Amino acid sequence: MNIFALDFPPVSHLFQWPDILFTGNEYIGLNKTGLIYIAALLLTAGLFWAAGRRRSLVPTGAQTVAEAGIDFVENSIIMQTIGPDGRRYLPFLTTLFFFVFFSNIFEVIPFIQFPANSRMAIPLTLALVVWAIYHVVGIRAQGFYQYFKGALFPPGVPKALYVLVTPIELLQILLIRPLSLAIRLWANMVAGHLLLVTFAVLSAALWGTLYVPAVLPFAALILVTAFEIFVSALQAFIFTILTAVYIGGSLHPEH
Amino acid sequence: MSRRLWAAAAVIAAVVALSASAASAAETVGSCILDEIAAAKFEGIEGEGFTAAKNLKTLAAAGDEHAEELKVALGDDLEGCFDAPNPIIPEIKEIVWGGLAFVVLLALMYWKLFPVVRNLMEQRTQRIQDAIDDADRQRSEAAEVKANYEAELADAKAEAARIVDEAREQAGAVRADLQARAEADIAEMRERAAADVEASKRQAIADLQSEVSDIALGAAEAVLGRSLEDPEMQRQLVDDYIASVGAGQD
């Protein structure tokens, strides 16, 4: 695709990867996206394994990272949104946070440079898992009738407004929440990847012809790379905290 | 050292595995068009085979008369080079691998990884809490010991003062006792001396009296020139006299 005389790769080539294992199989073909998810699994598991193996009183290295992660999820996410009874979900939310973060951060890892969550597969899958969890938690905590009554007929709303509010709330808990959760993560990663590719292609093209102007897009590339590291962590945080908010809402309808 | 080498090798292998996939996808629109041309089979046109270069030769040889046919035959295929599949529709294979990775990770975390680290954190919290409690306990114990020690010290000081006072008192009493005894001794000695003196005086007087009476008798005999007839009677006479003289002197 030619844009301003630059050979910009077609968008599909930035996100779709050929299979390297089980080639061509629609169901189990393993491509770069799948490999990154496996890498995210290995990194998270490796981090916690290393953290649990050292067992020193003063934490260092992996132990610091794992413990800081747990501490962060517990104090900055669970205690802020669910409260002390949300501690039960700490392992799940910690796993969610690290898995999403590691899938994202490959966006800036040299030679890999692809955020696995810029493919819809895992954002949607995780969003559906979260969707199932907060419904189950709500039904178990309040009972089926009470849970849906509280969710669809929020107290304090004038009766006449239920005509408007109830369909919106129904759409919200059944469709909007999981979709917004998935699309937010996916779209952020797509945008970040496109930004990085744009500045990288621009830098490379200008470097080949006019050396001086390449400085600008290259500086922008460095800035965007730093920004994307931040976004990777931020989106993992947002995905996790929204999950906690939804679970908290199902546990304590009064909030 | 070797562990670090292994870790570095693992990281490099992972990066190569992940980027190999990237390299194979380095496809451009141009290469896609060439692939499509190579794959194209032109009906009704005699050709030399099916590679891009041969197909292009075939196209050139075919000339204008087949232009419309070629457009139709190739157009749709080439259009596909610009088509991108809907990016929001997830691919099943990616869901399978990603979902599998997440489920395995979740299972590992619940099974062992998370509880181990969590227990470690709780143990540390407990240890620090215990250390603080212990320090508090020891501090209060030390304060108690200090208070006891100070109380004992104060007692000891009071006791010492009491002992010194008592000793001083005792010393005073002893001194007074000794002084009294000494004074009594002195008085007794003085008395005894006085009695001795008196006895000696009496003895001396008695001795003197006897001596004097003997001398007087001798003198009287010498004066009278004869001895008195009854010496015993004479002595009596003299003694009486001396006694009367002595009495008169007293």
More confident residue, A141 or A60: A141
Question: What type of residue is A251?
Answer: L
CB contacts, 8 Å: A51 with chain B: 116-117, 120
Contact between A178 and A120 under an 8 Å Cβ cutoff? The reply is no
**Chain-centroid distance, C-alpha B97:** 57
Q: Does A185 touch chain B (CB under 8 A)?
A: no
The pLDDT of residue B29 = 67
Within 54-113 of A, beta carbons closer than 8 Å to B belong to 55, 57, 63, 66-67, 70-71, 90-92, 94-95, 99, 103, 106, 109-113
pLDDT at A18 over 70: yes
The pLDDT of residue A255 = 53
Within 123-162 of A, beta carbons closer than 8 Å to B belong to 124-126, 129
Q: In which band, very low, low, confident or very high, does the pLDDT at A209 lie, cut at 50, 70 and 90?
A: confident
What is the secondary structure of B31-63 as a DSSP string? HHHHHHHHH---TT---S-SSHHHHHHHHHHH-
The pLDDT of residue B23 = 44
The pLDDT of residue B225 = 58
- pTM listed for this prediction: 0.70
CB contacts, 8 Å: B110 with chain A: 91
Q: How far is B78 from chain A (nearest CA, A)?
A: 13
For residue A120, the number of C-alpha atoms closer than 13 Å in the C-beta half-sphere is 14
Question: What type of residue is B215?
Answer: I
- Identify from B12, B83, B97 which residue to disrupt to test chain A contact, counting A C-beta atoms within 10 A and taking the largest count: B97
CA A166 – CA A149 distance, rounded (Å): 10
Q: Does A183 touch chain B (CB under 8 A)?
A: yes
- Nearest by CB to residue A57, choosing from B24, B118, B124, is B124
Q: Does A218 touch chain B (CB under 8 A)?
A: no
Alpha helix ranges (H) inside chain B? 2-24, 29-39, 52-62, 67-79, 92-108, 114-224, 231-249
pLDDT at A131 over 90: yes
Kindly tell me the sign of the dihedral angle through the C-alpha atoms of B76, B80, B85, B91: positive
The pLDDT of residue B26 = 46
Under-50 pLDDT residues of chain B: 21-26
How much of chain A is helix, strand and coil, in % rounded to 5?
75, 0, 20
- Identify from B3, B79, B92, B120 which residue to disrupt to test chain A contact, counting A C-beta atoms within 10 A and taking the largest count: B120
Within 188-207 of A, beta carbons closer than 8 Å to B belong to 190
- Own/partner pairs, B119-122, CB within 8 angstroms, 24+ separation: B120/A51, B120/A52, B120/A55, B120/A63, B120/A67, B121/A67, B121/A70, B121/A71
* ipTM attached to this prediction: 0.91
The nearest alpha carbon in chain B to A57 belongs to B124
Asked if B83's CB is within 8 angstroms of A40's CB, the reply is no
Cα–Cα separations (whole angstroms), residue A210 to A6, A23, A198: 13, 41, 17
Percent of chain A with pLDDT over 70: 95
Place of tokens 């089980």: A22
Average pLDDT score, chain A: 89
pLDDT (tens digit per residue) in B140-193: 999 999 999 999 999 999 999 999 999 999 999 999 999 999 999 999 999 999
φ, ψ for residue A30, nearest 5 deg: -95, 115
φ, ψ for residue A127, nearest 5 deg: -60, -40
CA A223 – CA B20 distance, rounded (Å): 27
Asked if A94's CB is within 8 angstroms of B114's CB, the reply is yes
The pLDDT of residue B214 = 80
Asked if A126's CB is within 8 angstroms of B102's CB, the reply is yes
Q: In which band, very low, low, confident or very high, does the pLDDT at A242 lie, cut at 50, 70 and 90?
A: very high
> In chain B, where are the structural domains located?
9-84, 208-249
Q: Does A239 touch chain B (CB under 8 A)?
A: no
* Largest Cα–Cα separation, chain A: 69
CB contacts, 8 Å: A94 with chain B: 109, 114
End-to-end CA distance of chain B: 136
